[in-house]
Chains A and B, each alone.
Chain A
């Protein structure tokens, strides 16, 4: 084999990140012996750098990760094959680039932030490292099969107070990323969330209802938001999106204050204070402060009151029911669920479940508006099919473009476009099965069903926002 042929083989492996130590030594030897190969080596490596910059897959430094929001809310704007999704996740792991990416121009902006952060964080880097280590230790502690019980106290701003009466005694049991909640008051009941975001709730020891996402009324959604404690996700979010400051706490605890660098959830977090036990690394207290503007704030305090071996069964609704009980879920009409909840809790639960989701749509969105929205959803998909990234960007909510940067959004659409074209989804494979009004009609969730080879794929959702009478794509929640 000629040295040039072997060089090509080795170079190809370098560029695809699969070269071994022995092979790289061989490459060096080849390049050392043949000066003509040096320029080829340099040219290929520079091309690789430029391609990564131009096409958006930019490995970023850990420091960039500290200063920039990276995962963002943009995910695939269209449901694609589950198989393809697996590939994406798997390949991300295989490339060995755990950092999130940004496109070329955004990388430049991020680089600027790197340097600024070097300037501003120079003295705080060690402190941050220590604080993040403690948060990581807490994550490991809470991953153990020990269930921890927290008493929850909620303080609300004046404008929030009158909205709904909250129970006085609420306890959240949590283990890892899972939780269930015990509410005590006029009625004792338990609730939790399933993987699809539906809320299950017990109505006594023998009955329970599962309220699907599109059936959840505003008060129940509010309760869900307040008491949901996906601890693992929350701590990961703190590590990724927050500035962390550490200080000594009371009685053998360390206090970590997490302040978001920018908004990273749809529940605007102003600050979180975590009190970690120095010895066990368990979270003794977690205070979450949310600011909705004006005096519409809310502070939720989770205080550790008990630790015990986790009872796995209690993280599903069935674990809270006695034998011969009834579970009212998908096959139960929304109106029937609503009646049961009203009968059990009384008038306080009047709006916990929407009268009928369909009626809500009609009430909030006119027929013309729904038609216009469907046309825009279709237009986005056609643009993705054609690889017309420019049109996709034009269809995107200007606020998202401002937050993420047009380059990042474009790079994302480009990537999704490739996946869609590769998976050969056509327009006829997709159908909009529902349009659900959100936020008094200012946003809408579009439920999209993709059927491939006669098999329905998992339902996909897109969120669109109405701005000056025109619909704009916002995100595709997982």
Chain B
């Protein structure tokens, strides 16, 4: 018979799935501003419902349902965009995110490789944005280029990274 998870186990599972949960919530909220609040709510619910989780079953499937529910609830409650963002679209986005996030470890590994392959100026931009946490305005001042140009270049670098990740995942899939 299946056993309910004990507290340390569930704590470990919740912690290990934070990036996945954050990613899923982000894909539904799109804007980053409320992601942490919703994620906090998700964590609370996961903990409160810990006794319902059966040890040995698919934690991600269980947790992602809760995250999805919480994010949609948040959108309906607070978002001005609720009339535009219909349930079908949100469902599609959630499915897509869920699918991508099931390969998170591979994607993370591929990303690390791709970051190392970036030419130094592009890597510098990414570092300033993410490691330094600088806004575009600040990066533009530091580098001495217009904001629009920085934003465009950053977008291109992100696209290059996405293409690189897909290529690495494809070759990995082909090799295996």
Residues in chain A within 8 A of chain B (CB atoms): 8, 11-19, 21, 24-25, 27-29, 31-32, 35, 38-39, 41-57, 59-63, 84, 87-88, 90-92, 94-97, 99, 101, 104, 107-109, 111-112, 114-116, 118-119, 411, 414-415, 418-419, 421-422
Contact = CB atoms under 8 A, between A and B. Distances in A.
Contact of B89 (A12, A32, A54, A418): A32
B130 A57 contact: yes
A35 B95 CA distance: 13
A13 B137 CA distance: 12
Contact of B97 (A35, A46, A53, A419): A46
Interface of B: 7, 10-12, 14-16, 18-19, 22-23, 26-27, 30-33, 35-37, 39-40, 43-44, 46-47, 80-81, 84-86, 89, 92-93, 96-97, 100-101, 107-108, 111-112, 115, 124, 126-139, 141-143, 151-152, 154-155, 158, 161-162, 165
A114 B155 contact: no
Contacts of B39: 61
Contacts of A109: 15
A42 B97 contact: yes
23 contacts: A17-B31, A21-B80, A25-B84, A38-B92, A46-B23, A46-B97, A46-B107, A47-B158, A47-B161, A48-B158, A50-B19, A50-B23, A52-B130, A59-B36, A87-B142, A88-B134, A111-B15, A112-B12, A115-B15, A115-B47, A119-B11, A415-B132, A422-B142
A8 B155 contact: yes
Contact of B27 (A24, A46, A56, A57): A46
Nearest to A111: B18
Contacts of A92: 133
B33 A96 contact: yes
Pairs A-B, 4 closest by C-beta atoms: A91-B138, A112-B15, A55-B130, A94-B135
Contacts of A38: 89, 92-93, 96
Contacts of B130: 51-52, 54-57
Contacts, number: 200
Nearest to B94: A42
User: Which of the listed residues B107, B135, B143, B158 has the most CB atoms from chain A within 10 Å of its own CB?
Assistant: B135
A453 to B, nearest CB: 16
B152 A12 contact: yes
A112 B7 CA distance: 11
A421 B127 CA distance: 12
B134 A119 contact: no
Contact of B134 (A12, A39, A47, A95): A95
Nearest to B153: A12
Contacts of A84: 142
A116 B32 CA distance: 25
Given A12-B151, A38-B93, A111-B14, A55 B30 contact: no
Given A47-B111, A95-B134, 18 more contacts: A11-B155, A15-B155, A17-B31, A25-B80, A28-B81, A31-B93, A48-B158, A49-B23, A54-B115, A57-B132, A61-B36, A101-B133, A108-B16, A119-B7, A119-B11, A414-B127, A415-B131, A415-B132
A227 B126 CA distance: 46
